[in-house]
Amino acid sequence: MNHLPEMLAVAGPFVFFAFSMSATPGPNNMMLTASGANHGFVRTLPHMLGISVGCMGLMSAVALGLGTLFEQWPVTQQALKLVGSLYLLWLAWKIANAPPPEKQAHGGAARPLTFWQAAAFQFANPKAWVMAISGIASFTLAGDAFVLSAVLVIVLMGLINLPSIALWTGFGVALGRLLKTPRHWRSFNQLMGGLTAACVAMILL
């Protein structure tokens, strides 16, 4: 059975959904802005790729049935919220206390998030879960077309997510060029750490 017309019909709306979920503020984009400013675009690439691959992996897991886990055992959702909140607060503390880039280059402790750290974080990121569950539930076809339509939306998510989050990294790079003194850097990092920590409200509410 030819399901191509149906899949093309959902592809358009999904592109707007994926862009809105990827480009709007959230934990990932706050951290990418801080990383772009502190470490530059190239060093933040593994972080960006980890986010995109992690989101695709999460959507794949939801398509395979992991999303029903929350329905059968609601306590797992609460546990995920707790783990995600604690991890995000730890990352926010690291961002807020990051030294200026010139000190990082001479042995400072701050480092960009790695590919695997960023990918794993998506499984503790409530915004990524909302995106994955809503995307799979709303934009896939039933019956024998489910697998192909799920693959389509997962691939589209990867194609849209990466350039969308790259905008935030580029924004951070541009901001970094405006920060001239250690005091400026401390204020910026504390602000970004505070905004990242504020995302915990998104998790707990």
Could you tell me where the beta strands, DSSP code E, fall in 24-76?
Answer: none
Predicted pLDDT of residue 31 = 92
Q: Classify residue 103: in a domain, yes or no.
A: no
Q: Classify residue 108: in a domain, yes or no.
A: no
Report which of residues 70 and 112 the model is more confident about.
112
Q: How many domains would you assign to the chain?
A: 1
Using one digit for the tens of pLDDT, what is the confidence trace for 10-55?
888 889 899 988 998 888 999 999 999 999 999 999 999 999 999 9
Predicted pLDDT of residue 106 = 46
Predicted pLDDT of residue 32 = 95
Q: Classify residue 166: in a domain, yes or no.
A: yes
Q: Classify residue 139: in a domain, yes or no.
A: yes
- Mean pLDDT, the chain, as a whole number? 84
Using one digit for the tens of pLDDT, what is the confidence trace for 131-168?
898 888 888 887 778 888 899 999 999 999 999 999 99
Q: Classify residue 151: in a domain, yes or no.
A: yes
Q: Classify residue 24: in a domain, yes or no.
A: yes
At residue 69's C-alpha, the angle toward residues 24 and 115, to 5°, is 45
Residue 82 has pLDDT above 90, yes or no: no
Averaged over 167-188, what is the pLDDT? Answer: 88
Predicted pLDDT of residue 89 = 86
Averaged over 118-137, what is the pLDDT? Answer: 87
Q: Classify residue 35: in a domain, yes or no.
A: yes
Predicted pLDDT of residue 183 = 85
Domain span holding position 128: 4-97+113-204
Predicted pLDDT of residue 126 = 79
Q: For residues 156 and 165, give the distance between their C-alpha atoms in angstroms, rounded to a whole number.
A: 14
In the three-class reduction of DSSP (H, G, I as helix; E, B as strand; rest coil), residue 47 is classed as: helix
Nearest Cα neighbor of 186 from 91, 95, 89, 108 is 95
Tokens 């994926």 belong to which residue?
A: 18
Tokens 């849209």 belong to which residue?
A: 160
To the nearest 10°, the Cα dihedral for 114, 115, 119, 124?
A: 0
Predicted pLDDT of residue 85 = 77
Averaged over 81-87, what is the pLDDT? Answer: 76
Nearest Cα neighbor of 172 from 188, 196, 156, 149 is 188
Q: What percent of the chain has pLDDT over 90?
A: 35
Q: Classify residue 146: in a domain, yes or no.
A: yes
Look up the pTM and report it. Answer: 0.84
